[in-house]
Amino acid sequence: MSIYWLLPFFAGISFLLTAAARRYALHNSLMDMPNARSSHTTPTPRGGGIAIVLSFLAALPLMVLFDVLSWTAMWGLLGAGAWVAVVGFLDDHGHIPARWRLLAHFIGAVWALAWMGGLPSVVIFGCDLALGWLGYVLAAFYLVWLLNLYNFMDGIDGIASVEAISVCLGGALLYVLLGESTAVVAPLLLAVAVAGFLFWNFPPARIFMGDAGSGFLGITLGVLSLQASWVAPQLLWSWLILLGVFIVDATWTLFRRVLRGDKVYEAHRSHAYQHASRQFGQHLPVTLGVAALNLLWLLPIAVWVGVGEGDGAVGMLLAYVPLIGLAIKYRAGSLSTP
């Protein structure tokens, strides 16, 4: 039997687990209550992202058995993803100080990098750079930043789910174009796990992802992007391009908040997507806009780079410039208005 027959199965598992998580949250009053920093106006259950976590982690051993994932890749994904999800779950149910969360995130990143062998050589403007131990350090900071920016960007209905599905499907397409048929499975399984959750999270959301889910998606997408770079060096650039909406909004917002002297670990609603959702008066146009940007703008550039037709750094600059323009247009990092 082909493992592709299991894709709808894991989508269904995620769907049912999300329904169960919603009942659990309602029964235990695990609710996200609106406040001055929220982008929603009604109390909503949270913690549904655990369905994504459990579905994808359960699929990992099967991928090894079907010989579409190595044991080292499985342990890297399993250990880092489960660890980050547990930390997020505990934070969802209580509160973990920011410094301890950050330490835990670096532990998860180091675990993943130890199993995958760090960061391979990077090709920049045609030059092949072997970074050695510096590559480990840069990769660790990359994973931790991606994990945290995914938490930051999970602020309106459906946006984090749509981003993950778009990136995973784009990454799978790149593998198909390069003839890497076995590598396709991992991003596809993550995409279907997120799709099962998205049914409940699509605007208007009936449950939120929570830190367990968003942190898990952030580090898992990061690990998958680094694994892609071991398949073909240019694919790291392609994944960075596919992740462009989240990377640019979160990074530009953080940069402006740091310049202003804000406490960067405090919750806020000054991301471009949050300003845009208030301008439109609803979440759906913004979430669909992110999907359109991913499909119509970022994916073609990622493919151009991924198949070896374009330089990775040039492609990323080309992809990001309009995104920076949108961040400026929608006042990313500026003080929120009521």
Is 211 annotated as contributing to ligand binding? Answer: yes
Instruction: Give the separation between CA 253 and CA 145, rounded to whole angstroms.
Output: 13
**Token pair recorded at residue 6:** 């299991």
Alpha-carbon distances of 190 from 64, 154, 193, 209, 275, rounded to whole Å: 15, 17, 5, 15, 29
- Give the alpha-carbon dihedral of 70, 73, 77, 83, to 10 degrees: 110
pLDDT recorded at residue 338: 46
pLDDT recorded at residue 209: 95
Low-confidence ranges of the chain (pLDDT < 50): 338
Do the beta carbons of residue 201 and residue 276 sit within 8 Å?
A: no
| Residue 32, φ and ψ in degrees, nearest 5 | -95, 105
The string of pLDDT tens digits covering residues 13-44 is 999 999 999 999 999 888 887 765 667 678 89
pLDDT recorded at residue 38: 64
Q: Measured in Å, how far apart are the chain's first and last C-alpha atoms?
A: 55
pLDDT recorded at residue 337: 54
Do the beta carbons of residue 15 and residue 196 sit within 8 Å?
A: yes
- Sign of the dihedral defined by the CA atoms of residues 63, 233, 131, 318, in that order: negative
**Token pair recorded at residue 40:** 């929603």
Instruction: Give the separation between CA 129 and CA 270, rounded to whole angstroms.
Output: 37
Q: Which residues pair with 87 in a beta bridge?
A: none
Is 67 annotated as contributing to ligand binding? Answer: no
Q: What letter would DSSP give residue 42?
A: S
- Sign of the dihedral defined by the CA atoms of residues 328, 330, 332, 334, in that order: positive
Instruction: Give the separation between CA 289 and CA 136, rounded to whole angstroms.
Output: 35
- 117: phi > 0 → left, psi -120 to 50 → alpha, else beta; which? left
Instruction: Give the separation between CA 205 and CA 157, rounded to whole angstroms.
Output: 5
Q: Distance between alpha carbon 158 and the CA centroid of its chain, in Å?
A: 12
